[in-house]
Amino acid sequence: MSVASFAAVQFLRALPRTRVSRAVGRLCEASLPAGVSRAVVGLYVRAYRVDMDECQPQEGAYQNFDQFFTRHLKPGQRTICSSAHEIASPADGKIEAIGPVDLEGTLLVKKQIYRVDELVGDAADAERYRGGQFAIVYLSPRDYHRVHAPVDGAVVRIRSMPGDLFPVNSIGERHVPSLFSKNRRVAIVIDTPALGRVTVVMVGAIIVGRITVSAVPGDDVPLGDHLIEPPLPVRKGDEIGVFHLGSTAIVFAERGVVAPFARGVGPVQLGQSLSGDA
């Protein structure tokens, strides 16, 4: 480990990550004068090369930074893969890891081993994914930060799990053991007619102020296991959650029910098949 990396790791461990994230979240939700809003958004767009041509036009200035960060895409901006036997990427971003879950219910991500039960928050549910497949999509600061259904089905359960808020970046992934399992997580469980159960896990990170989901009203998902009665029907591509500032989405699929996840590591857009490059 370089001196710079060692110093960064020690700083992150000492930092009051939850307090910092809450403070930044409140700041991002504070109302801004129109001139200040335009200046802040303009600086951010230039710094991170955000493609605003893809976004729904905003009438006037954004009321606060969170409203900009959770901006909508223009209708029809993304093509959703249509095959009933393919699972779509739930978000724009970069595939950090993709492949099989072993028969012990673990997956290997950048030399770290993760247990599915710790990620989805339920040991019995995790049994479904032994020998199945997973994909990890990292949302960078420039990306669209709404999360969408990767399949047709119905949201039947939301698990909101407490956790830390380590950064989900190269330093965090390399130096924080079981990073994704340690951070705050919200698992969105979707039952389908033909593909069994699919779970999308939204993983929080430092500066991620809140996570909201379509199936549970409110400004943040309360901790706990939320049974959705009646289940919330969703079509592939429907919005199911929002990161208020960015992080990572993990998709789990059962064994043998969909085409193998064969897409390579690298950029991906919402709606593209995880089974190939289309």
Active site residue 92: yes
- For residue 226, the number of C-alpha atoms closer than 13 Å in the C-beta half-sphere is 22
Give the active site residue among 21, 66, 89, 92. Answer: 92
Q: How far apart are the two ends of the chain, measured CA to CA in Å?
A: 38
Q: Is 1 helix (H, G, I), strand (E, B) or coil?
A: coil
Residue count of the chain, please give it.
278
Asked if 146 and 213 count as a contact pair (C-beta separation under 8 A), the reply is no
Would you say 244 and 25 are in contact if contact means Cβ atoms under 8 Å apart? Answer: yes
- Angstrom distance (rounded) from CA 11 to CA 31: 31
Residue from 143, 145, 148, 160 carrying the catalytic annotation: 148
Helix (H) or strand (E) holding 235: none
The residue annotated as part of the active site, out of 21, 160, 247, 275, is: 247
Tell me how far apart the alpha carbons of residues 76 and 72 are, in angstroms, rounded to a whole number.
11
Q: For residue 146, which of 230, 238, 62, 12 has the smallest C-alpha distance? A: 238
247 is catalytic: yes
Calpha distance 111→275 (Å, rounded) = 23
User: How far, in Å, CA of 65 to CA of 166, rounded?
Assistant: 22
Residues with active-site annotation: 92, 148, 247
